[in-house]
């Protein structure tokens, strides 16, 4: 496989901050995406990183370190509706390859 | 924004029959589309890359004779699950890129296939 690893499950409290990590093989890397997916629905695009550093977009931020093969998605001011799966994906040869996905449960 | 339409949303078929799933890019042209399969509580697994006007390329372990892909126009790709069996029951979802990577790849709404 592509060895894109994420924690399987995470839990957090409403209003808190959570960081979801993703590690991947660096060979052939052309960019990293984060998607949110609610059960039974299509994934929705959250962020795209191709250069090192932090990209901030509202309550969500994504970080990339190409040399370390590492990314994280940071969710601030968690809301109940943020309970979903978060999928890390790398772009290789124009194909989007997904990691194992992290199921996040937000509790009140 | 870029929209990908997928039909049907769900389908139930008898074992041994074939099912066709359509994926359309509504407001952009897609020379390439991608087909994924997702089992419950698992991530998306890339099955194949659909190429307009040429043969699809399949990922390792995916049977090309079982999962027929046709990409006859710049806005339509179809996936036909032939001789379906209960183990083919899954969530099938297509995607395409409207061109600008910072907008991500757009996904269809998915098709829930149940083979009985």
Q: Which of A33, A40, A97 sits opposite B104 (nearest CB)?
A: A33
How high is the pLDDT of residue A1? 45
**DSSP conformation class of A5:** B
How high is the pLDDT of residue B101? 76
Q: What is the pLDDT along chain A (108 residues), one digit of tens a residue?
A: 468 999 999 999 999 999 999 999 878 788 999 999 998 899 999 999 999 999 999 999 999 999 999 999 999 999 999 999 999 999 888 899 999 899 999 999
Q: Which residues of B touch A (CB under 8 A)?
A: 32, 34, 36, 41-46, 49, 91, 93, 95, 97, 101-110, 112
How high is the pLDDT of residue A26? 78
Strands (E), A18-83: 18-23, 32-37, 44-49, 53-57, 60-65, 70-75
pLDDT digits (tens, 9 = 90+) for B57-104: 999 999 999 999 999 899 999 999 999 999 999 999 999 988 777 778
Q: Which of A87, A97, A99 sits opposite B46 (nearest CB)?
A: A97
Q: How far is B19 from chain A (nearest CA, A)?
A: 20
């Amino acid at each position: 496989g592509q060895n894109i690893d994420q924690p399987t499950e995470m839990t957090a409290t409403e209003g808190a901050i959570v960081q979801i990590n993703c590690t991947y093989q660096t060979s052939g890397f052309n960019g990293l995406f984060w998607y949110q997916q609610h059960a039974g629905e299509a994934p929705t695009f959250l962020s795209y990183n191709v250069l090192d550093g932090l990209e901030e977009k509202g309550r969500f931020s994504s970080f990339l370190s190409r040399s370390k093969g590492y990314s994280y998605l940071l969710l601030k001011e968690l809301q109940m509706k943020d309970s979903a799966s978060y999928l890390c994906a790398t772009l290789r040869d124009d194909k989007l390859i997904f990691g194992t996905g992290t199921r996040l449960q937000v509790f009140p | 924004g870029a929209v990908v339409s997928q039909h049907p949303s769900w389908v139930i078929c008898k074992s041994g029959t074939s099912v066709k799933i359509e994926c359309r890019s509504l407001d952009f042209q897609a020379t390439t589309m991608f087909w994924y399969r997702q089992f419950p509580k698992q991530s998306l697994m890339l099955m194949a890359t659909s190429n307009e006007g040429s043969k699809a390329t399949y990922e390792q372990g995916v049977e090309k004779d079982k999962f027929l892909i046709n990409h006859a126009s710049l806005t339509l790709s179809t996936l036909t699950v032939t001789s379906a069996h209960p183990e083919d029951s899954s969530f099938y979802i297509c995607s395409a890129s409207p061109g600008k990577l910072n907008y991500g790849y757009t996904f269809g709404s998915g098709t829930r296939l149940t083979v009985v």
